[in-house]
Amino acid sequence: MTDMIERVERAMTTEWARQMEGPRVDMEAIARAAILAMREPTDEMLRASGLFDWFDASTFAPKKYDGVRAIYQAMVDAVLE
């Protein structure tokens, strides 16, 4: 099982368990918990983008995927609005 699937499973299970104490289950809240769990992309997801940020001028090595991460997080945030 991938890290992301485990993360989503954990978020959904936690939200489901929290709601079992109430009179009904709010499926939207469970869906939102699952989407929020995906807000931080895994390394595999970042590599799969095929995109690098700019290169570090001192080492000529590609920087981490900060720009790709920010774009991905903005898309997830838009879904949750």
Specify whether 52 is located in the same domain as 79: yes
80 and 49, same structural domain? Answer: yes
pTM of the full structure: 0.73
Per the model's pLDDT, the better-predicted residue between 1 and 66 turns out to be 66
Would you state the pLDDT for residue 65? 74
Is there a single domain that holds both residue 50 and residue 81?
yes
Domain span holding position 73: 41-81
Kindly report, residue by residue over 70-81, the tens digit of the pLDDT. 999 999 999 999
Q: How many CA atoms lie within 13 A of 66 on its CB side?
A: 6
Give the chain's domain count. 2
Whether residue 11 contacts residue 39, with contact meaning beta carbons closer than 8 Å, is answered with no
Q: Are residues 3 and 29 in the same domain?
A: yes
Question: Do residues 48 and 15 share a domain?
Answer: no
Let me know whether 48 and 19 are in one domain: no
65 and 78 housed in the same domain: yes
| Rounded Cα distance, 40 and 36, in Å | 8
Write the pLDDT tens digit of every residue in 7-20.
999 999 999 998 88
Q: Give the pLDDT confidence score for residue 80 in this predicted structure.
A: 94
33 and 8 share a domain? yes
Q: Mind listing the pLDDT tens digit for each residue in 20-62?
A: 877 888 889 999 999 999 999 988 888 788 776 666 666 666 6
